[in-house]
Amino acid sequence: MNAVLYDVALTAYILAAAAAIGSLLGRRDQLAWVALLLTQAGWICHTAAVITRGVELGRLPFMTMPEVISLVIWAAVLLNLWIERRHRIRPLSAFVLPVILALGLGLPTGLRSIVLETPVKSGWIMVHVALVLVGLAALVLNFGIALMYLVRERQLKHKRTGTFSRRLPPLETLDRLTAATLTIGFPFLTVGLVLGVLSAPAAWGSLLTFDPLALFSLVMWVIYAATLLGRVMGQWGGRRAAYYAIAGFCVLLVTLSAGVFLHGRHGS
Amino acid sequence: MPPGNVLFVAGLSHRTAPVAVREQLALEEEKIREILADLTGRGLLDEVMIISTCNRVEVYGVAAVPGEARSAAFGRLGSHRGLHWRDLEPLVYTVTGDEAVLHAFRVTASLDSMVLGEPQILGQVKDAFALARSAGTAGPVLHALMSQAFGAAKRVRTETEIGRLAVSISYAAVELARKIFDGLEGRAVLLVGAGEMSELAARHLVDHGALPVYVTNRTWGRAQELARGLGGTAVPFDQLAASLALVDIVVTSTAAPEPIVTAAEVRAALEKRRTRPLFFIDIAVPRNVEPAVNEVENAFCYDIDDLRSVVEANLKERQREALRAQALLEREVVKFAGRLQQLEVVPTIVSLREKLEAIRRAELERALGRLPGAGEETRRVMEALSQAIVNKMLHAPMVKLKDSSRAGHARRWTEMISELFGLRGPTRPDSRE
Specify the higher pLDDT residue, B293 or A29.
B293
Distance CA A143, CA A177 (A): 10
Residues B180 and B279: beta-carbon distance below 8 Å: yes
Which pLDDT band holds residue B426 (cuts at 50, 70, 90)?
very low
| Helices A212-233 and A171-204, axial angle in degrees (round to 10) | 140
Task: Output the CA–CA distances (angstroms, integers) from residue B220 to A230, B217, B231, B240, in the order listed.
Answer: 42, 6, 16, 13
Pick the closest to residue A43 from A68, A76, A20 (CA basis): A76
State how beta strands B56-63 and B47-52 pair.
Answer: antiparallel
Mutate to test the interface with B, among A86, A149, A172 (most CBs of B within 10 A): A172
Which one of the listed residues B54, B334, B381, B389 is annotated catalytic?
B54
Residues in chain A: 268
Rg of chain B over Cα atoms, rounded to whole angstroms, equals 32
Q: What angle do CA B269, B272, B278 make, to 5 degrees?
A: 50
B129-145 confidence digits (pLDDT tens): 999 999 999 998 999 99
- pLDDT (0 to 100) of residue B427: 45
Does residue A114 sit in helix, strand or coil? coil
Of all residues in chain B, the one with the smallest CA distance to A169 is: B179
Q: What are the start-end ranges of the H helices in B26-135? A: 29-41, 66-79, 85-88, 97-108, 120-134
Which positions in chain B touch A239 (Cβ < 8 Å)? 297-298
Which positions in chain B touch A241 (Cβ < 8 Å)? 275
Which positions in chain A touch B272 (Cβ < 8 Å)? none
Distance CA A177, CA A183 (A): 10
Distance CA A106, CA B315 (A): 47
Q: What angle do CA B143, B145, B146 make, to 5 degrees?
A: 70
Distance CA B73, CA B61 (A): 10
B301 counts as catalytic: no
Tell me: pLDDT of A267 over 60.
Answer: no
Distance CA A260, CA A212 (A): 10
Pick the closest to residue A1 from A112, A167, A156 (CA basis): A112
Cβ of A170 within 8 Å of Cβ of B182? The answer is yes
State how beta strands B233-235 and B6-13 pair.
Answer: unpaired
> Is the reported ipTM for this assembly greater than 0.85?
no
What backbone torsions phi and psi does residue A163 show, to the nearest 5 degrees?
-60, -40
Residues B62 and B139: beta-carbon distance below 8 Å: yes
- pLDDT (0 to 100) of residue B115: 87
Mean pLDDT of the residues in chain B: 89
Specify the higher pLDDT residue, A111 or B99.
B99
Average pLDDT estimate for B88-104: 93
Which pLDDT band holds residue B1 (cuts at 50, 70, 90)?
low
Q: Residue B278 forms beta bridges with which residues?
A: B299
In which order are the strands placed within the sheet that holds B213-216?
B233-235, B213-216, B189-192, B249-252, B278-282, B299-303
Distance CA B8, CA B3 (A): 15
Tell me: pLDDT of B251 over 90.
Answer: yes
Cβ of B309 within 8 Å of Cβ of A159? The answer is yes
Cβ of B178 within 8 Å of Cβ of A170? The answer is yes
Distance CA B166, CA B178 (A): 12
Rg of chain A over Cα atoms, rounded to whole angstroms, equals 19
Cβ of B314 within 8 Å of Cβ of A161? The answer is yes
Tell me: pLDDT of B296 over 80.
Answer: yes
A175 CB within 8 Å of a chain B CB: yes
- pLDDT (0 to 100) of residue A122: 64
- pLDDT (0 to 100) of residue A117: 52
B97-110 confidence digits (pLDDT tens): 999 999 999 999 99
Please report, for chain A, how many H helices and E strands are present, in that order: 10, 0
Amino acid residing at A129? V
Q: Tell me how close the Cα of A164 comes to any Cα of chain B, in angstroms.
A: 12
DSSP B279-320: EEEE--SS-SB-GGGGGSTTEEEEEHHHHHHHHHHHHHHHHH
Distance CA B228, CA B211 (A): 14
Cβ of B181 within 8 Å of Cβ of A170? The answer is yes
Residues B281 and B303: beta-carbon distance below 8 Å: no
State how beta strands B213-216 and B189-192 pair.
Answer: parallel
- pLDDT (0 to 100) of residue A206: 59
Tell me: pLDDT of A209 over 70.
Answer: no
Which positions in chain A touch B277 (Cβ < 8 Å)? 171-172, 238
- Cα atoms in the Cβ-side hemisphere of radius 13 Å centred on B37: 9
Q: Which residues touch A103 (CB under 8 Å, ≥6 apart)?
A: A69, A72, A73, A140, A253, A256
Q: Strand ranges (DSSP E) for B334-373?
A: none
Specify the higher pLDDT residue, A237 or B364.
B364
What backbone torsions phi and psi does residue B146 show, to the nearest 5 degrees?
-70, -40
